[in-house]
Structure formats: structure tokens, C-alpha cells
Amino acid sequence: MTKADDRRLPLDGLKVLELGQLIAGPFATKLLGEFGADVIKVEPPHSGDPLRRWRMIEDGTSLWWHVQTRNKRSVSLDLRSHEGQDLVRQLVAEADVLVENFRPGTLEGWGLGWEALSALNPGLIMVRVSGYGQTGPYRDKPGFGVIGEAMGGLRYLTGQPGEPSVRVGVSIGDSLSALYAVIGTLLALQERARSGQGQVVDIALYESVFAMMESLLPEYDASGEIRQPSGSALPGITPSNAYRTRSGDYVLIAGNGDSIFKRLMQVIDRQDLANDPKLAHNDGRAREAKRIDDAIEAWTLQHERDDILAQLDSVRVPAGYPYTAADIARDPHYLAREMIQSITRPNGKPLKVPGVLPKLSATPGRLGDGGPALGQHTDEVLDELGIDAETREKLRQAGII
């Protein structure tokens, strides 16, 4: 637990219902839960969210689960049954926000679409995350994050020139969509505070990626230029690249500010480049990117990584190296900023997990416990709805919960 557990949190009193699975929708609700929202996660009985069995498993549960579902209550509920759908309606009647990431039309097929639910609760905010959005010719196509990354333009740019594109090593399309879902939720809550009315927040995976693509589209529109993959370099911004060291690993150096470039050239003993008027500003340096990168790497190849970083730190040139998980876990800055936290799993073992973001000075978020067991809170939540123990047992026997 964190210091914030005995403090008022920004979203205290907000009730969020999560219908969905895997990454984008549940990541959004995780963020809301970290800042005080009461998140009720609905999962299929017996099987649960597939994320429970993704990647590394210990004691039958994914280690990822303990990050993605912290600060949530798990209710096992069959959404395909009429009884389950009726229970969702009762939950919606008391909810502020519903987050779902089914394929468009799925909830409508169960009688749980926007028109039906907003009639029950006019103040409901319905956050809908899907591959292609709720409208348009592609709305009914299945879409995962990697497809959104491809359609959004990111996949084409990722990799070395002339080689097949590669994916980012994490589900970045889903995670970006989750962030936009949270932004949309907070905006809709602000509007509801004024008007009293809820609304739909429509998030598409491909759009969340496309929104990050900087000048990709205007450059094409203005000049027909199609931005190409560039490996570790940042085209048009020089120097910013990865450079080999004497021991064969890499350092990343970002010397693209005008004064930073001069200091970098002085460190590598290239006064000729530092004083070249054609290289005084970025546009001139971009035209000479290979010449500058070659000069920098000729220097880095003579030194070990730590020596390079020490020399560049001393003259305030931004530099680093690609961190592994091991580097992150022992880094003193991560530790000082409390970005490496520890929880205790149900088996009693400790587990390091990422800290909470963003950092708020007066009302910081909470770490909470790891992810709940499947249906751990079903009786608790249904009791809050006024459903008695006898009725719950009948629903359990029928496989509804």
C-alpha cells in the first residue's frame, strides 16, 4: 500500500463498470482505480479474462494480471444470459462510467447498447474502445492493437530501412487507446458536472496511434513525402541516434539542440564541426546527418559506455542506453521516484510492480493489492444491489455467476 491509502483520492465516489478483457479497456479502468474509482470488473464465469493466462504464469495466474487489475473488484457474470444482462442493467443504474472493449454491436445484441443503458441512467458515461471505432466502413472488423499500430502508421516506420517492419515490444496501440479513454472519461465527467448528461466516448485503436504520428500527414500532403523507417535515427533532427561503443554495446545521444551540439562536438574533439556555420542550426545539420553521425561514432568506438555517459553528463549532453528490466529494477532514480513498488501476492511472495502515474502532490494515486481472484467480489457487489443470498445461490447453480 502507498501513503495515499489514508488520503482523499481525486476519483473517490466514482463507480466504474468494466465490461471487456485483455488490454485497452482494462488498462483504462486500472488508471481510474488507482485514483480512487470503485472499479467493478465483470468476467465470464469459470474462464475469466484471458489476460489471466497471458505471458508468464505463476500459481495459475499471469504476473501481468497483478498490474493490470489492481484496485478492482471481480464479479463473475454470464453476459450472454438474460439474467446476467439484467444484473448488468442493475449495475449500470448505479454506475457513473461504463468501459467496454467488445466489437461494435456486441452489447447491442445483448440489449446493452447506449440507447438502452442511457435510458436507465441519463448521466452514464459510456467509454467504447474498439479497433476501428463505432462508425465507418471498418467498424465490424476485428481489431487488435498490432493492427491499429499498422493502420495508424507506426508499424511502417518501425525498423531498419529496407527490412521488414517490426513491432514495438509492448502493446503500445492498446496502451495509447487506454490513455485516450481516460482523457475522454475525465472530459465527459467535466461536462456532466455542468449539464447532468452523460455521453459516449468513442476510442479507436488505429486513431490513438495515428494521433501520435507527428508531422507524418502534413508532410505527405504538402510535398508527397512518405516518411520511411530509419532504424535508430530520428530523420530531420540531428544528431539523435544510437552509436556503438568500444565494448560493442550502444549509447543513445541526443545532441540536436544548437548549443548542445556545440558542446558535444567539443567533447569529441571536432571543433571544425562545432564552428561550421552550416551546422549551427538543425536544418543544416539534418542535411549532413551521416557526416555528423560518423564523427560521433568514431569517438564512441574508442570508449566504454560508462565513460561516454560520464563525459557527456559533465557537459549536459543528453545521453543514455537501452535499459533492460534488470537495469530498471536497480536504477537509483527509479527507486528514488518510487516507480518500483512491491506488493504481496496471494501466495505470500513479494512482487515488484510499476508505481502509479501521474504523480499528484496533494492527492497521489494508490498502489493497492494485486489483481483479484475470479469472482472474488461477486457476492459483495450483488449484495450491494440488494440481491439476497438465496437468489445468489440460485444464480450460481444456474451458472449465471
Average pLDDT over residues 28-52: 96
Catalytic residue, chosen from 174, 202, 306, 369, is 174
Q: To the nearest whole percent, how much of the chain has pLDDT over 90?
A: 88
**Mean pLDDT lowest for which of 29-43, 48-62, 111-125?**
48-62
pLDDT of residue 4: 43
pLDDT of residue 208: 97
Q: What are phi and psi of 97, to 5 degrees?
A: -135, 135
Band of pLDDT at residue 3, cut at 50, 70 and 90: very low
**Is-contact 174 206, C-beta < 8 A?**
no
Is 283 catalytic? The answer is no
How many C-beta atoms lie closer than 10 Å to residue 322's C-beta? 11
**CATH number attached to the domain at 3-212+335-397:** 3.40.50.10540
Please give the DSSP secondary-structure letter assigned to residue 388: -
Q: Give the class (CATH, top level) of 240-244+250-320.
A: alpha beta
Beta strands in 81-239 (DSSP E): 97-100, 125-130, 200-204
Residues of the chain with CATH 3.30.1540.10: 240-244+250-320
pLDDT of residue 145: 85
291-314 pLDDT, tens digit per residue, is 999 999 999 999 999 999 999 999
- Say how far apart CA 79 and CA 293 lie, in whole Å: 57
Average pLDDT over residues 33-38: 97
Q: Output the CA angle 269-322-229, nearest 5 degrees.
A: 85
Of 3 and 231, which is predicted with more confidence? 231
